[in-house]
Amino acid sequence: MSDPLENFRSEIADWIAANLPDELRGVPTTEDTICWGGRNWVFTSDAQRLWLERCAERGLTCPRWPSEYGGGGLTRGEEKALREEMTKAGAPSPLQSFGIWMLGPALLKFGTPEQKAAHLPDITAGKIRWCQGYSEPGAGSDLASVQTRAEDMGDHWLINGQKIWTSYADKADKIFALVRTDRDAPKHLGISFMLIDMQTPGVTTRPIRLISGASPFCETFFDNVKVPKEGAIVGEQNRGWDVAKYLLTHEREMIGGGGGGLTSGDTLAQMMGTLDPGTLNDPVLRAEAMELEVDAMAFALTMERYKDMSEAGQGVGHASAMLKYYGTELNKRRQEVLMSAQGSNALDWEAGSAADWLRSKANSIEGGTSEVMLDIIAKRVLELPAK
């Protein structure tokens, strides 16, 4: 075999077969089976811990990141082959985290060598769990309206303010947050992107309960929090909006792609095939399911195309708003079809899909509402004139 990519595919398939614990094979990805890592994380089993350790050692938790930071240093094609072989083997993602999806890419682009060395290896190894401190009460999707302030106290910053909708803040070790470091500067200036340890005195969190029952969201409060200056700010002081915008493109891609769940794993038809016999005999329901499958495949191909563009240095930019909008709307349609297929059985809170259906409603709010995404698409992508 002379094709380097096929050699890699064969090698990684053998590695997965030899290292994936049997009890993890084919286990559906749910909130209960995901591994988030971090100091507060309690592994659900020895197998989950072993799988994370083996993948981290091989650089597979962050396949595309440089190997010097614990990544795999894989090419785009190798990463795709890895995902396909993982799916084929029924292997779960070894680690999911906002550090991988959002902070890591921002650090790789804007971080100093010292910041990269200090944080990236802990992210790839799953030792530190990060949360995002962007949204604030009263600001909605207008992130530049942040009021949480950081005062220069000489050797440290003094932080006061409140963040809201900070996912998993009560379980995170550290937070990357937007703070206002110059209150006299124009709205999008005077903001800095700051790294804060959640164990710092003065940081408190309060979970927010949602209609779905459980909730990942929290309120986070900063009361006279002292943050040492060294290594605290990523990018230039007062130019944190540049870092924030770059990070948002990755967040929108992540949410639009359902964190990988929408475009990987079982298809809708496969999921519906596990329901009561005869479910797919309804021609209307079958047509809706197949239309959704075709749209999901088209969306997956579009995601791949934009990843290739990013690989070629063209970047995704404002097109991330399209991916976020369409991906979240697609997921909502998917949950609607599943609810229809299950009928009244869907209302069984433990066994049905009601919680997932309700949760999907938040997809078009978190990370920027669908209305904001449509506005970005109109102005920045289509360049339509203002009314």
pLDDT in tens, 236-251: 999 999 998 888 877 7
Q: Is the dihedral of CA 318, 322, 325, 328 positive or negative?
A: negative
Q: Write down the pLDDT at residue 257.
A: 59
Q: Write down the pLDDT at residue 261.
A: 41
In this prediction, residue 231 has a pLDDT band, given cuts at 50, 70 and 90, of very high
- Reference 338, options 330, 242, 174; nearest CA is 330
Strand-pairing partners, residue 205, are: 220
Q: What phi and psi values does residue 65 have, to the nearest 5 degrees? A: -70, 155
Q: Write down the pLDDT at residue 79.
A: 92
**Mean pLDDT over residues 258-268, rounded?**
48
DSSP H helices in 90-170: 98, 104-110, 113-124
Q: Which is the catalytic residue, given 136, 251, 253, 329?
A: 251
Residue % of the chain over a pLDDT of 70? 89
User: Is residue 371 among the annotated active site residues?
Assistant: no
- The backbone region for 59, taken as left when phi is positive above 0, alpha when psi lies in -120 to 50, beta otherwise, is left
Parallel, antiparallel or unpaired: strands 156-164 and 149-152: antiparallel
Q: Are 204 and 210 in contact (CB under 8 A)?
A: no
Is the pLDDT reported for residue 151 higher than 90? yes
What is the rounded distance in angstroms from the CA atom of residue 295 to the CA atom of residue 297?
A: 5
**Mean pLDDT over residues 61-66, rounded?**
96
**Mean pLDDT over residues 53-75, rounded?**
96
Task: Look over the chain and give the mean of its residue pLDDT values, rounded to a whole number.
Answer: 87
pLDDT, one tens digit per residue, over 28-49 is 777 778 899 999 999 999 999 9
- This prediction's pTM: 0.81
